[in-house]
Amino acid sequence: MSSRTTISRIAALGGLSTAVLLAATACGAGGPAATSGSAASTVNVLVEAGGHAELTGVAEQCTKDTGINVNFVELPYDGMFNRLSSEFSSGNVSFDVAALDSVWLPSFKDAVQPIDELFTDEAKKDIFPALVKEANVDGHFIGMPAWTNSEIILYRKDLFEDAKNKTDFKAKFGYDLAAPTTWKQYQDISEFFTKDGMYGTDVKGGVETEWLAHVLQAGSPMVLDANNNVVIDNAAHKDALDFYTSLVKSAPPGAAQVDWAAAQNLFNQGKTAMTRFWAHAYRQIPKDSPVAGKVGAAPMIGGSAGVAGVPGPWYLSVPKATKNSDAAKKFVKCAYDHNDLGIESSLGLASRISAFEKYQDKPGYESFKPLIETLKGQATATRPATAKWQQIVDTVLVPMLQKAVAGGDSATLLADAKKQIQDLLK
Amino acid sequence: MRISDRRFALYLMAPAALFLTVFVAYPLFRLVADSLFKISPIAGGPRDFVGLDNYIRAFASEAFMGAGWRTLAYTLVVVALEFALGLGMALLFTALGRKSEVWRTVFLYPLMIAPIVAGLLWKFLMIDNFGLIGTLLHQAGILQNPNQIGWLSNPDIVLFSVAVPDIWLTTSFMCLILFAGLQNIPGDLIEAARLDGAKAPTLLCSIILPLLRPVIAVALVVRGIDAARAFDTILIQTNGGPQSASETMSLLIYRTMIRFGDPGLASAMGAIYLLAMLGVAFFAVATIWRPGKDN
Amino acid sequence: MSTAETPINDSFAAEAVAYRPRPAGAVSAIPATGTKASGATAGAAPTGALTVEPATPTSAVSGTGRPRRRNHHAEGLEAGRRSTRTLLWIILAAAMVLYGFPFLYLLFTSFKAPIDTIAVPPTILPKEWTLENYTNALGRSGVLASFINSAQTAIISTLLSLVLAVPAAYGITRYKTPSGRVFIMAALVTRMVPPVAIGIPLASMMSSAGLADTPIALSIAHTTISLPLSIWLMSSFFEAVPNDLEEAATVDGCSRLGALWRVVIPVVSGGIAVTAIFAFLASWNEFLFALLMTAVRSQTTPVVIANFQTQFGLDWGSMTALAAVYSIPVILLTLLLQRKIVAGMTLGAVKG
């Protein structure tokens, strides 16, 4: 047997087995085939964990209504943005609908299709005005809000209603202990409850949205004004930053790395008396947590410009590169129609005013009235629509906050931030 | 019909060579090609030739230079500690002989753990407020309060904190390799040295280490490369923060490419990074490794 | 750079073995210049050499007529005095506790009630033992599928790696051609590439080939990580096999390929097993490529574990449960085979 024959035999065998292997393994265990042209009645929806919870009930209903099967692809928040970026840049997408965080809309506006036909006049009336504005980029609607959120105040009702606390507080500060409505009240109450191993509130150095809400409350647009000038060093931003850092002494340590999950956990474990947090957290308090049943909800506090919150809506968008546009759009419309089903989910949110109003008086949904009130606030506004927003947040805003909570000088930090942002936007 | 030995060898190596060419060389080629362009993150967007502009921007950017130094510091710390600890454990196992064989096996287990799991695990040991390490140290009386040290929130020490899982994962292996090397040292040499009155430190420095030099050299170079590429553990622990204090090159390139949507700049950074590693590696090989440099 | 952080996934031991220390001798930079002379040591009992227990390395020497000395090498460095030994045992115990503690903590936490897993302040042992985290984690949609995907991807990647590496390593070691030397150097360079640099181009290549989101695409990516390692490992194993074997086979009428297939490969089968284990682990634990390249059909478990860290809560309990389930089988498997692994890896060192 010559080497040459053997080699060609082996090559043939190798080629054959590779082909078999390829064919056999083209299907992964994760689900039915992708949408590329084949089953037109299946849509892949790219979501993050919260989105998955929100849309599951909706998806079931939509399958019944329209016959479209829905597959969810779940990714962690950071991973999702990165996946969207890389798939959009390669031009091949593995999904037909994506739930996009509002701040990503400007970055991906060129990669998603307009869905103007879904924004009927009736729909525009039932969606919070700020969201209608945000969904419209360059004259077209590119995302249908699936749910929206805002920070509100969550506080320990049991501690606030305790008689001794009430008398002590009145004695120290001169007014009645109640859910805070102004910055000063928030500071006073936080200071009051920081004792005996507990803290008044938390300070989140790892995320920027809360500080931005305070900026709105102080009367300035966030970071950029309507003409895209950088206004981060104005008085409102400084006041907001000073307020933000003034709470460090009434908050648990490690503020520089405290993010949403950490803050939520601190409150659920009973370590903080109040927290400014996204409204969905109210319904997510575990039944066996030490604070279950003892929590009250109030609208976001107001600064000199009144109550304001940063809405955190998520939009359903359809990529241009999908081969399943019709089914995708059908799903998005159906999701809008059944928007109120999302409220029954573990995230418990919706985007339509009517959906919220349907539930606001039911027990267990005490967070809805404060949420609606905050969302309707005069100063409430959405974040600037610039494609560089994520970069601004990652490289300028969050590091600046981390330095501020560690004790940096706010004026200097804001001036530096302004320069950095201007460089980025050049 | 018999083909020459050389031909035969080529045929044997061809499939692997082809694979590496298609799936490694070609993407690298694209990396370098991309680094010469300014590329829009969305497909179908503009792609402008900018020559070496991305390289200039990279060197001018504080983030890049900072990441470079941080990567160097991280690598040095990780390799030094895993070597020291690995050597210590290897000597320990050797000194205890046969009876410690079981423990040597148990000591291997971190190698099976995924870096992502190790990163998550150590994140929850070191995180403020719910981290176990702070609590234990506080209970032992070493710390005044559990959160005195911000392992992952203090920018000054975070780079060393994120190195811990890496060291934890890799010490076993260093130990294993050095142990194998120690087995090779002829007992006669040691006995002779002992008879001459050599104490442990002398034994270590004058006999054991020089004999182990080739093994150590390989280990250091290769582990150095691995540490410089560290990604999973750092990403999951701190995502580069706070204030980019734990952002190494791999993380910076990842962020630039995917998060900030600048593939051109990221490719340039990647190319520079690769060249630097090649340079250092070949330098190390040439100086530490050259045959004839031993004994 | 997921896998390379853990040396077993990117075992430099292979290289260390390839460049094994020769007492008072020069070290060649390329395994191709292997020593046939010392082949006598291993040649006497090829399979015996592969299963040698490193703690008593001298058993391999039996065939050459040198006097057998038990624990020959270990004796030199072994601690003699009782008090020293006791002290060393104490140090070992402390080291084991410190080293093993993190994983034990992971296990204990997985059995706590979900709210207790992130308690402030944290505890080591569960207040009450419960399997809730396990049911939560494994019950989530996509988790079991991800296990299958991980296994599938790892198996394919391992097979691919072996199929490519074994012939290549044989060609490099047996026929010391210049191209072989270049190849080894190229493998070293490949190892230096941070996965982040080739992740995106690879992902888009796979998409264009219509292989987006398939296990085969991810397997190919994983193979780029494990192939250099496999080549180096197999090179060192082949070096340990003396040429006489093939010469004997070809004299009997076998072709070169036949000699490889029928004679040499069985001899290095232990080495192949070791290489397979490393390649498998490299794929099983890999994260970055999986993050970049998988979606519905082919998502692997490391990505799922990372998914539990969401914006909306810390599901530490489910994460630990899943991590435990994912790690324990691999740990057990490798510990069972550790003798082979350790033997295989120190083969070259012993042989030197």
Do residues A196 and A225 both lie within one domain? Answer: yes
* pLDDT, position A13: 59
- Tens digit of each residue's pLDDT (9 = 90 or more) over C56-67: 333 333 334 344
Residue in the block written with tokens 């990714």: A75
Mean pLDDT of C330-338: 80
Q: Is the pLDDT of residue C320 over 50?
A: yes
Give the closest of A81, A265, A399 to B243, CB-based. Answer: A399
Taking CB atoms and an 8 Å cutoff, what residues of chain B touch C79? 95-97
- The span from the CA of A96 to the CA of A41, in Å, is 11
What domains can be seen in chain C, in order of their start residue?
Answer: 3-26+137-351 (1.10.3720.10)
Q: What length does chain A have?
A: 426
A359 located within any domain: no
For an interface test with B, give the residue of A257, A259, A401 to mutate (most B CBs within 10 A). A257
* pLDDT, position C57: 34
Q: Is the pLDDT of residue C325 over 90?
A: yes
CB neighbour list of residue C11: distance below 8 Å, 6 or more residues apart:
B173, C229, C233, C278, C345
A67 located within any domain: yes
Do residues A205 and A221 both lie within one domain? Answer: yes
Taking CB atoms and an 8 Å cutoff, what residues of chain B touch A111? 42-43
- The span from the CA of C209 to the CA of C200, in Å, is 14
Contact yes or no for A377/A308 (Cβ under 8 A):
yes
A357 located within any domain: no
- The span from the CA of B231 to the CA of C10, in Å, is 15
Give the closest of B116, B177, B289 to C306, CB-based. Answer: B116
Q: Which residues pair with A45 in a beta bridge?
A: A72, A97
How far is the alpha carbon of A411 from chain C, nearest alpha carbon, in Å?
Answer: 30
User: Residue C121: which of A274, A252, B135, B150 has the closest Cα?
Assistant: B135
Do residues A240 and A387 both lie within one domain? Answer: yes
Q: CA neighbours within 13 Å on the CB side: how many for A224?
A: 19
Domain span at A336: 42-149+313-351
Q: What's chain B look like in SS3?
A: CCCCHHHHHHHHHHHHHHHHHHHHHHHHHHHHHHCCEEECCCCCCCEEECCCHHHHHHHHCHHHHHHHHHHHHHHHHHHHHHHHHHHHHHHHHHHHHHHHHHHHHHCCHHHHCCHHHHHHHHHHHHCCCCCHHHHHHHHCCCCCCCCCCCCCCCCCCHHHHHHHHHHHHHHHHHHHHHHHHHHCCCHHHHHHHHHCCCCHHHHHHHHHHHHHHHHHHHHHHHHHHHHHCCCHHHHHHCCCCCCCCCCCHHHHHHHHHHHCCCHHHHHHHHHHHHHHHHHHHHHHHHHHHCCCCCC
- Tens digit of each residue's pLDDT (9 = 90 or more) over C210-249: 787 788 999 999 999 999 989 988 888 888 788 887 778 7
Domain count for chain A: 2
Give the closest of B2, B15, B128 to A253, CB-based. Answer: B128
* pLDDT, position C151: 93
Say whether residue B124 is in contact with chain A using an 8 A CB cutoff.
no
Q: Residue C82 has which token pair?
A: 């009782």
C257-283 burial, b at 16+ Cβ within 10 Å, e below that, comes to bbbbeebbbebbebbbebbbbbbbbbb
Taking CB atoms and an 8 Å cutoff, what residues of chain C touch A73? 295-296, 299
Block means of pLDDT (10 residues each) for chain A, 426 residues, are: 54 56 53 45 85 86 89 78 78 87 87 91 87 87 91 93 93 92 94 92 92 94 90 93 94 87 90 92 88 93 91 91 90 91 84 87 88 88 86 89 91 94 87
Select the more confidently predicted residue: C38 or A178. A178
Kind and range of the H or E run holding A297: strand A295-298
β-pair type (A136-137, A140-141): antiparallel
Say whether residue B289 is in contact with chain C using an 8 A CB cutoff.
yes
CA dihedral B120, B122, B126, B127 (to 10 degrees): 0
Residue type, position B136, single letter:
L
* pLDDT, position C50: 31
CB neighbour list of residue C39: distance below 8 Å, 6 or more residues apart:
C240, C241, C242, C243, C244, C351
B-C interface: how many C-beta pairs under 8 angstroms? 382
Say whether residue B144 is in contact with chain A using an 8 A CB cutoff.
no
Interface of A with B (CB under 8 A): 2-4, 7, 14, 78, 81-82, 85-86, 88-91, 107-108, 110-111, 205-206, 252-258, 262, 265-266, 271, 321, 387-388, 390-391, 394-395, 398-399, 402-403, 406
How far is the alpha carbon of B36 from chain A, nearest alpha carbon, in Å?
Answer: 17
Other beta carbons within 10 angstroms of residue C24's beta carbon come to 11
Give the closest of C292, C297, C307 to A86, CB-based. Answer: C292
Do residues A272 and A317 both lie within one domain? Answer: no
How far is the alpha carbon of C242 from chain A, nearest alpha carbon, in Å?
Answer: 22
β-pair type (C309-310, C313-314): antiparallel
Other beta carbons within 10 angstroms of residue C219's beta carbon come to 25
How far is the alpha carbon of C315 from chain A, nearest alpha carbon, in Å?
Answer: 9
Contact C189 B278 (CB under 8 A): yes
- The span from the CA of C113 to the CA of A179, in Å, is 32
Say whether residue B279 is in contact with chain A using an 8 A CB cutoff.
no
Subunits with 3+ Cβ pairs within 8 Å of C are A, B
Contact C4 B225 (CB under 8 A): yes
CB neighbour list of residue A257: distance below 8 Å, 6 or more residues apart:
A205, A206, A402, B127, B128, B150, B152, B153, B238, B241, B242
Which value does ipTM take for this structure? 0.86
* pLDDT, position A40: 54
Do residues A72 and A195 both lie within one domain? Answer: no
Low-confidence ranges of chain B (pLDDT < 70): 1-2, 42-44, 288-295
Do residues A169 and A299 both lie within one domain? Answer: yes
- The span from the CA of B79 to the CA of B82, in Å, is 5
The pTM (predicted TM-score) of the whole model is: 0.80
- The span from the CA of C15 to the CA of B290, in Å, is 15
3-state secondary structure at position A349: coil
A377 located within any domain: no
Burial class (CB in 10 A: 0-12, 13-18, 19+), A45: buried
User: Residue A391: which of A414, A412, A420 has the closest Cα?
Assistant: A420
* pLDDT, position A89: 75
Contact A25 C216 (CB under 8 A): yes
* pLDDT, position C283: 94
Kind and range of the H or E run holding C253: none
What domains can be seen in chain B, in order of their start residue?
Answer: 53-289 (1.10.3720.10)
CB neighbour list of residue B3: distance below 8 Å, 6 or more residues apart:
A3, A4, B11
* pLDDT, position C346: 57
Taking CB atoms and an 8 Å cutoff, what residues of chain C touch A289? 115
Contact C156 A76 (CB under 8 A): no
Contact yes or no for A44/A34 (Cβ under 8 A):
yes
Do residues A245 and A387 both lie within one domain? Answer: yes
What is the pLDDT confidence band of residue C73, given thresholds at 50, 70 and 90? very low
Do residues A91 and A141 both lie within one domain? Answer: yes
Do residues A204 and A83 both lie within one domain? Answer: no
Do residues A281 and A323 both lie within one domain? Answer: no
A1 located within any domain: no
What is the pLDDT confidence band of residue C12, given thresholds at 50, 70 and 90? very low
Whichever domain contains A161, its CATH number is 3.40.190.10
How far is the alpha carbon of B52 from chain A, nearest alpha carbon, in Å?
Answer: 20
Say whether residue B131 is in contact with chain C using an 8 A CB cutoff.
yes
* pLDDT, position A332: 92
A33 located within any domain: no
Do residues A283 and A415 both lie within one domain? Answer: yes
* pLDDT, position C32: 29
Taking CB atoms and an 8 Å cutoff, what residues of chain B touch C323? 114, 117, 120-121
* pLDDT, position C168: 92
DSSP alpha helices (H): ranges in A306-383? 325-337, 353-359, 368-375
Do residues A298 and A202 both lie within one domain? Answer: yes
Contact A89 B43 (CB under 8 A): yes
Contact C305 B120 (CB under 8 A): yes
A23 located within any domain: no
Q: Residue B93 has which token pair?
A: 């196992």
* pLDDT, position A288: 85
Subunits with 3+ Cβ pairs within 8 Å of B are A, C
Q: Is the pLDDT of residue C76 over 90?
A: no
Residue C67: left (phi > 0), alpha (psi -120 to 50), or beta?
A: beta
A339 located within any domain: yes
* pLDDT, position B80: 95
- The span from the CA of A76 to the CA of A214, in Å, is 27
For an interface test with A, give the residue of C297, C300, C304, C318 to mutate (most A CBs within 10 A). C297
